[in-house]
Every structure is written in structure tokens, then in C-alpha cells.
Amino acid sequence: MTDIVDELKWRGLIALSTDEDALRKAFADGPVTFYCGFDPTAPSLHLGNLVQILTMRRIQQAGNRPLGLVGGATGLIGDPKPNSERTLNAPEVVAQWVERLRAQIAPLLDFEGPNAAVMVDNLDWTQGLSAIEFLRDIGKHFRVNKMIAKEAVSRRLNSDAGISYTEFSYQILQGMDYLELYRRYGCTLQTGGSDQWGNLTSGTELIHKVEPDAVVHALGTPLITKADGTKFGKTESGTVWLDPEMTPPYAFYQFWLNADDRDASKFLRIFSFRSREEIEELERQTEERPQARAAQRALAEELTTLVHGAGQTAAVTAASKALFGQGELAELDERTLAASLSEVPHIQVSELGLVVDLLAEVGLVASKSAARRTVKEGGAYVNNVKVTAEDAVPAAEDLLHGRWLVLRRGKKNLAAVEVTGA
């Protein structure tokens, strides 16, 4: 990779830059020490954060040094939300979340070699700083009229919620982070989402005032949107998190597998580490044979492996096949099975009844008479075993992990029954 700027542009990862030509020269003269910040305002990162982490990974692979900042200080405040004040979390909770986020970022960067990544926490340089020192040494360099003009602030000022001094001050703290990293590590580039541009440039502006000879940069990635108008990283069940307890690997895999064909090319370029040639070939296959979902399958396997490991990818792909009769359901571990069944229509019952009743109740057929026809025509399955009798009742030993039945009508229509015993 001779020019990381060209690579990022080809992948659609540059929306804003303080000076693209100067940044290109900095990379050419490199290596460049750069950073991206992540605030622990939740116990896990999500897919929007993954854009930033993988952008860091690309820039590091081009021979530059990343600093992964998890904001133990800024996480106590939170950047301004569009329409309301954030709920302030207890310091001990934020401290726990700092460690969780660090553990999610660390496997995706390289911590060895000449450009080894470094994890940093802005609490290290803020917790001992007095309010007087902060106002005298940092606050004096910020002009309120410019701070008000920042998009995140002006939007809140024009809303019914208004904005507190706490969230108004967030951009000062982020600007101080960049200055501190410039002084400690020679950091000359900050990356982040374009919606954070006002916070990113607060750092470059502060450094220019305090260190007039410094040459520093900011780079903003575009906000990722979906072709159907829904928010990227969101599903019907909510946000797609990186934590496997919050979004099971099966659901994570399915997010990519279910991507709209219109989004497949964009997602490949942003998230995949395949070569241009490989990506362009997958784009061609998707255009010519969209039903094969080649791009989506490639994304699902690559990203699930990257975030959750090859073992989890093998487990979820086995589950996908087993659900449709191409593997043994009984061989799936309970957690993977439960996660996979949460993605299909399902009901809870206290005791087992007729299969035809269950088919109708879960919605695989419109009525019990339709269920009987389905059985008669050979299209009803329980745990991938064809149902041959209209009066069939599953036995207790048929329950997977003592609680689940997988119902199928035909080849593709799935549903699940969970027996609660209550």
C-alpha cells in the first residue's frame, strides 16, 4: 500500500480533512502517530465504533502508529446528544466500562513491532487537574462564539432541551486530549466520525494556539447509512453491539448476511480487509447473481471472525445450515441455538401439544386446517424430521437442550417453540 489516503478514499472512508494534501505528505514522510477516541457511555462498543477501529487498523497497516484512547474522563460527561442531556453514570461504572472497551479494541490493533499501538486513558491527565488550572491553561484558548457555532452545540441550543455547561465543555476536554497526546507521543492526526468534526477540530485549533509551529491534522469518516433509510448498525431488536452477551455472534453474523444488495459493495469497502481485486470480484458476483449473496456471506464470515473469532464463526455457520436441514441441530450448543432461534418467529408454551396446533400458533400457517394440509403434503418438519401424522405430538425427549423445538414449513420457513414448563 503506497498511499493510505488513496486507499481510504477508494473505500469511501474520507468525508472531511483539515488538509488532504498536507495529510498525504505527512503519511509519505511518516510514520504518523495518530489517535481515535472512544467514550465509555455504554458497556460495549457498537458497529459505528467498529468503523473507527478498522480505519485505525488500516492506517496502522500502512506503517503508522495508533493510539487507542478510551475516555475515562470524557466518558464521565459524554459528548452532546442531538436532543437531550446524557445520563451521567457513576465513576465506578465508567471505570468498568473503560476496561470492557479496551478489551474490545485491543485485539483489532497490533501491539508489537516498530509501530506498536498504545492504549491511553484521558483520565490520566485530567483527574489531577484543578478547575483553576483547567480554566487558565486550557479554557482561555477557546472562544465562546466559536464554541456555540459548532454543529453539535448549536443544534442543542436551538432545541427545547438546551445544553448544560457540562456538555458544552466537552469539546474543550477533547481538544485538550489532542494537545496532551501531541506532547506525550508526538501525535499529529486525530480520526473520528464526521458528526464529531467540531470536536476533532477543537483539538487542532488548540494545538495551533499553544504550539504555533505544530503541524497537525484531523480526518473525519462519513456517517454510514443504509439504502432502505434505516440507521446503520440497527436492527428490529436494537443496536448491534460488539459484546457477545449483548449481541450474540449469530445475530452479529445475520446482520451482515441480511445486508441489502444495494449496501453490499459499500460495506465491503468500508469493513473488509480483502484486496481491491477480491472486493471488485465480489461486487461483480453480487451484481450478476444477487440471490447467491456472495458479498454478504463474505462480510458475515470475515467480520464475525474478526470480532468474535473463528470458533464462533464456525458455530454460527453450522447453526445456519442446521436450521435448514443441512446439519444436526442436536450438535449446536445451547447459547448458539437460542441466539439463532431468537431471529425467527417463536412462541413460548407451558406444555407440548399437537404439531398442527403449534404450526398455526407460531404463524407458520394461517390455520390448523392449513397445518393439516402441510403435514399431508409432506412439508412440515420438527427438528428437521418430517412430520407424517396429523395427530403427531412431540415428545419431551425431542426438546433441544430440554426446551426448544425447531419447526419448519417447506425449505425456508422457520419458527421455534420454547417450552417453559410454567
CATH number, domain with residue 298: 1.10.240.10
Residue 256: which pLDDT band, with cuts at 50, 70 and 90? very high
* Band of pLDDT at residue 229, cut at 50, 70 and 90: confident
When pLDDT is averaged across residues 222-247 and rounded to a whole number, the result is: 88
186 and 300 within one domain: no
- Give residue 66's pLDDT: 98
pLDDT of residue 95: 96
Residue 58: which CATH number? 3.40.50.620
Beta strands 33-38; 385-386: pairing state: unpaired
List the single range of 98-107, 260-269, 333-342 with lowest mean pLDDT.
333-342
Question: At residue 366, what are phi and psi to the nearest 5 degrees?
Answer: -80, -25
Residue 413 lies inside a defined structural domain of this protein:
yes
Residue-averaged pLDDT of the chain: 92
Based on the domain organization, do 64 and 164 belong to the same domain? yes
If we measure between CA atoms, which residue out of 175, 160, 321 comes closest to residue 250? 321
Asked if the structure places residue 323 within a domain, the reply is yes
Question: Does residue 1 carry a pLDDT above 70?
Answer: no
Q: Which of 300, 328, 356 is the last residue of a domain?
A: 328
Q: Are residue 192 and residue 239 in the same domain, yes or no? A: no
In a domain, 389, yes or no: yes
Do 195 and 173 reside in the same domain of the chain? yes
Are 42 and 8 found together in one domain?
A: yes
Handedness of CA 300, 44, 65, 36 (dihedral sign): positive
Output the domain CATH number for residue 413: 3.10.290.10
Shared domain for 217 and 354, answered yes or no, is: no
User: Residue 2's pLDDT band (boundaries 50, 70, 90)?
Assistant: low
- Residues 162 and 19 reside in one and the same domain: yes
Does some domain include residue 131? yes
Asked whether the predicted pLDDT for residue 179 surpasses 60, the reply is: yes
Angle, nearest 10°, between helix axes 249-257 and 294-308?
A: 150
* Residue 338: inside a domain: no
**Domain with 386 in it:** 346-419
Residue count of the chain: 422
Say whether both 37 and 180 belong to one domain.
yes
Q: Of 19-33, 156-170, 275-289, which gets the smallest average pLDDT?
A: 156-170
Proportion of the chain above pLDDT 90, given as a percent: 74
Those residues whose C-beta lies under 8 Å from the C-beta of residue 279, and which sit 6 or more positions away, are 265, 268, 269, 272
> pLDDT band for position 150 (50/70/90)?
confident
- Are both 77 and 158 inside the same structural domain? yes
> Do 169 and 26 reside in the same domain of the chain?
yes
The two most distant CA atoms of the chain are separated, in Å, by 84
Determine, yes or no, domain membership for 341: no
Last residue within a domain, chosen from 197, 221, 245: 221
Task: Express as a percent the part of the chain with pLDDT over 70.
Answer: 99
Same domain, yes or no: 46 and 84: yes
Residue 193: inside a domain, yes or no? yes
Q: Is residue 8 part of a domain?
A: yes
Output the pLDDT for position 391.
92
Q: Label residue 80 by pLDDT band (50, 70, 90).
A: confident
Q: Is the pLDDT of residue 187 over 90?
A: yes
Last-in-domain residue among 193, 221, 249: 221
Q: Which of 55-59, 83-87, 151-155 has the highest mean pLDDT?
A: 55-59
Looking at the structure, tell me whether residues 151 and 33 fall in a common domain.
Answer: yes
pLDDT in tens, 330-388: 888 888 888 888 888 889 998 888 999 999 999 999 999 999 999 999 999 999 999 99
